[in-house]
Chains A and B, each alone.
Chain A
């Protein structure tokens, strides 16, 4: 595939779509599919057919549009009208309204902060293109970054753009991506690997799933560019088996890219070859840790090992390996297309670009959002999220899943960037953001996350294996009103011990939910201990 051939595909696809006067998009990502958006799409297609082409309308299945709780979602591309909660019975009204006034009873308002405050880079194609057709991705400038890199840039120049962009790992820790790529590129070794971490294990996070379901080619393109930059010819995507739709669309995407010569041997008649294979996870949270993930790809139990050596030097089968998260790879094509400086203009000084968050919990607008770094938590929760429903009181927002913490009202005006979140005792994490109101008990929330870490601990190192179980017992005692002040002291001591002596990130960050709730909601803990009551009314006391 040459640049000209790619251009031709894009042109003919745009022409083919341009022959239609109207374009109806139906969300076919997992959220809307579980509210039967496939039936809605069938009904719309049948209605268009019934009109005998009089409407010149294309009905297209697309990826996630964002406000998942309002699904099934349908949009009309020309006018930007969005419909919520659409049923197959609504199909006739929607098709008949094309070119006239929209169907007012179904309209989802798009002039709200939910849509206007967002900046889409990673999700630029989500909800617009058909994730199961490579031509649609190519028509949206897809794969042009890959061919541009292969035909007019050296690997060093590609890395230079990534360094300039200031992109940092979107999996949670925020390691500078350019630095990681440089290390792998410099590592000695004939065989190198690129791994995409799609083992999205944090409960309450579904960003990666949405990207894979809505725009799988973007991730493949990012991986291929990475492979060219670091000198790898084999890539693996380690994806959760719990995401069957994402797996299916990735398989389709890989097959299509191979057929078009955009993956495989001698891409675009250059020396560069790149193959991508899928590896399915099997429900182990610890496999999100890079060394455990590598062990799992090698067919072993997913237990981490001490670092160094880091995977960049000795990773899969002992060879230099680049591991990045789905969202990180998804950022790569636009960076190459528009240049590193373009990307660096978005966001804050140390945290560049945008971040995708899965906004859920006690908030009016739940769903997938993409915001520029540096936006405040208050803007996310109140402007974009629409605040807490049912007239209840906001209590905390949880970021970073079981490795993160709960941030209270007083820090809502803090900008969202890697450093600020760490300062208040949480982390950026992969992007789960759960809003809690007064009915959530902070001790119970800490206990919930500790139960998670205890169950998910792989058992290799003792501080994590025994420490999380011990902390869980103490939190259970507190939540049941059976604890003493000594128990609280012991809990704090254990937090310190587990944090400082565990082998991998799972154990090191396991105490974070406890530490952050103790920091901001210590009175709730004390109420459970001294007064034996749960202020939120969530815990069952056993006196």
Chain B
């Protein structure tokens, strides 16, 4: 019986796969590199699609069911492509006490999205975080990776409208 194993080649020519390969190689393509590899995929591509899950499973020689199990177990991983802009509302205790729920409901009313959803036009993804650790600045919201503290519903909606209307005129 042949025991040598040919490493599968990446799903496409996309250069970002090299980053994924580098992570897997650094961990000796061992099965315990799974979470680290998924982190690299999400960092490079923005989300985990089926193609990526199959590729990582094949290289690390882990059952696809196991990869899918890990990818869906951890909240940080997303299997859906994110919108053009993301808005993360912190719902940690300090932010909750200082009104994070009213921020979420204001966004839901104005944009029609709940946490974990993306608007139909793909402009905005709304997420909620357990705690950003910025409790001193509660309530905190992250706009495209930038943490902004001491937020109010109207300030948040203003930022979001800035994205949607400006992008609407095509002058991003």
Q: Give the B-binding residues of A (Cβ under 8 A).
A: 30-31, 33-35, 67-69, 71, 200-206, 209-210, 241-243, 279-285, 296-302, 358, 360-362, 366-368, 398, 401, 432, 434, 436, 440, 448, 452, 456, 458
Chain B 138-153, CB within 8 Å of chain A: the 1/0 string? 1010000011110000
Residues of chain A with a CB closer than 8 A to B30's CB:
299
| Contact, CB under 8 Å: A434 / B35 | no
Q: Which of A35, A284, A368, A458 contacts B149 (CB 8 A)?
A: A35
Nearest Cβ distance between residue B15 and chain A, in whole angstroms?
23
| Contact, CB under 8 Å: B94 / A361 | yes
* Interfacial residues of chain B within 28-84, with CB under 8 A of chain A in the complex: 30-36, 38-39, 62, 66, 69-70, 73-77
| Contact, CB under 8 Å: B75 / A282 | yes
Q: Give the A-binding residues of B (Cβ under 8 A).
A: 30-36, 38-39, 62, 66, 69-70, 73-77, 91-94, 96-98, 129-138, 140, 146-149
Q: Which of B35, B98, B131 contacts A203 (CB 8 A)?
A: B131
Known contacts A205-B133, A360-B138; A298/B32 CB under 8 A? yes
Once the chains are docked, how many angstroms separate the CA of A281 from the CA of B75?
Answer: 10
Once the chains are docked, how many angstroms separate the CA of A285 from the CA of B129?
Answer: 12
Q: Which of A200, A282, A297, A300 contacts B133 (CB 8 A)?
A: A200
Once the chains are docked, how many angstroms separate the CA of A367 from the CA of B92?
Answer: 15
| Contact, CB under 8 Å: B136 / A242 | no
Once the chains are docked, how many angstroms separate the CA of A202 from the CA of B130?
Answer: 8
Residues of chain B with a CB closer than 8 A to A298's CB:
32
Nearest A-chain residue to B145, judged by Cβ: A244
Residues of chain B with a CB closer than 8 A to A398's CB:
93
Residues of chain A with a CB closer than 8 A to B66's CB:
300
Once the chains are docked, how many angstroms separate the CA of A299 from the CA of B98?
Answer: 37
Q: Which of B38, B91, B94 contacts A434 (CB 8 A)?
A: B94
Nearest A-chain residue to B150, judged by Cβ: A69
Once the chains are docked, how many angstroms separate the CA of A26 from the CA of B99?
Answer: 30
Once the chains are docked, how many angstroms separate the CA of A360 from the CA of B96?
Answer: 11
Residues of chain B with a CB closer than 8 A to A202's CB:
131
Q: Which of B35, B75, B96, B133 contacts A296 (CB 8 A)?
A: B35
Residues of chain A with a CB closer than 8 A to B133's CB:
30, 200, 205-206, 209-210, 242-243
Nearest Cβ distance between residue A461 and chain B, in whole angstroms?
15
Q: 10 other contacts beyond A282-B74, A300-B34, with CB at 8 A cut-off?
A: A68-B137, A201-B131, A209-B133, A242-B129, A281-B74, A283-B75, A301-B74, A367-B136, A398-B93, A434-B135
Nearest Cβ distance between residue B74 and chain A, in whole angstroms?
3
Central interface residue in A33, A360, A362, A398, by most chain B CB within 10 Å? A360
| Contact, CB under 8 Å: B70 / A301 | yes
